[in-house]
Amino acid sequence: MANKRIDQPTGTETVGHEWDGIEELNTPLPRWWLWTFYLTIVFAIGYVVAYPAWPMIDKATEGMLGWSSRGQLAEEMSVADQARATFREQLARIPVERLPENSALMQQAVAGGAAAFRVNCVQCHGSGAAGSHELGYPNLNDDDWLWGGDLKAIEYTLVHGIRQTSDDDTRTSVMPTFAGAFDTQQLNDVVDHVLSLSGKAQSNPVGGQLYADNCAACHGAGGQGDRAQGVPRLNDAIWLRGNSREAIKRQILNPRMGVMPKWEGRLDPVTIKMLAAYVHSLGGGEDLVEVAEDPEVEVDEQP
């Protein structure tokens, strides 16, 4: 370590090493840098004491403050839940048909319903709620409703589902199988008559008679359907399973009928209400014809 000397041009001491004539000046660190460095050491000691730091065998040291990222997350989640609590309480107390009167609550319900829809409903109804012709999932944006399109009816469908054997109150309807009931000509005549109800074909007397005998009991003489029984309208432009002659024939001979899960017990009533509000808001929602009696408003005695 000998050979330290003062470098003439700079007036600085060298470190004493030499590599092929190259020497290094012993320039001290700037004071501010050094003190900042010491400060970081002090900070690090404090940090190690206060926060989880050293990894041990199965977990890290816990730190004096008892902080953990999981704990922080739980805290933030509970804060968020707290913030939603009043809204959910309000929503739990109001019957769904009275929701439109409270537009702020309605807006929140629609927003919440949109989120729940994306989790629970898009698998069949699609992310745009447009359903599917091929698979027979109904479009929820339009104004054609098999079981009714007001808030109460939508909520009922959500709660009890469609064709659910486990629920006595489920919505059920059956289209009989007509395979073998008509010969080819008769089938064509019936299809003609069905299409004529929405002006897409010419009716003929044979078809009309066959329709009156076999179909009108449920679908109505003019094909207007019946929501009480979930019978589809035949005189409109919307066909759940397609409006081609082939599709109609198939549905007469060997009808397919979809199911919808019951959400009671799988989703809480508030979420179901929000889903009803969201589906209603998609553009085809109908007004409730009769508004229920004033509900017995529970007095909230909890703080």
In the complex, which residues of this chain contact another protein (CB under 8 A)? 9, 11, 126-130, 139, 141-144, 198, 233, 236-238, 281, 283, 287
> CB of residue 261 vs another protein: minimum separation in angstroms?
23
Task: Give the closest residue to 266 by CA, choosing from 275, 258, 279, 257.
Answer: 275
Considering beta carbons, is residue 66 or 283 the nearer one to another protein? 283
Contact assessment for residue 102 and residue 273, using Cβ atoms and an 8 Å cutoff: no
Nearest 5°: the CA angle 84, 87, 92 is 120
Sequence-distant (6+) residues with CB within 8 A of 81 are none
Considering beta carbons, is residue 228 or 297 the nearer one to another protein? 228
Helix (H) or strand (E) holding 71: helix 69-93
> CB of residue 161 vs another protein: minimum separation in angstroms?
24
Alpha-carbon radius of gyration of the chain: 36
142: its two tokens = 């339009």
> CB of residue 280 vs another protein: minimum separation in angstroms?
11
> CB of residue 53 vs another protein: minimum separation in angstroms?
27
> CB of residue 303 vs another protein: minimum separation in angstroms?
25
- What's phi and psi for 4, nearest 5 deg? -75, 135
Integer CA distances (angstroms), 74 to 70, 77, 81, 85, in order? 6, 5, 10, 16
Cβ of 164: how many Cβ atoms within 10 Å?
Answer: 17
> CB of residue 243 vs another protein: minimum separation in angstroms?
10
Q: At what angle do helices 103-120 and 269-280 cross, to 10 degrees?
A: 100
Cβ of 257: how many Cβ atoms within 10 Å?
Answer: 14
- What's phi and psi for 196, nearest 5 deg? -65, -25
> CB of residue 301 vs another protein: minimum separation in angstroms?
33
Sheet with 22-25: strands ordered across: 6-7, 12-19, 22-25
Contact assessment for residue 110 and residue 116, using Cβ atoms and an 8 Å cutoff: no
> CB of residue 258 vs another protein: minimum separation in angstroms?
19
Q: Are strands 6-7 and 12-19 parallel, antiparallel or unpaired?
A: antiparallel
Q: What 8-state DSSP symbol labels residue 289?
A: S
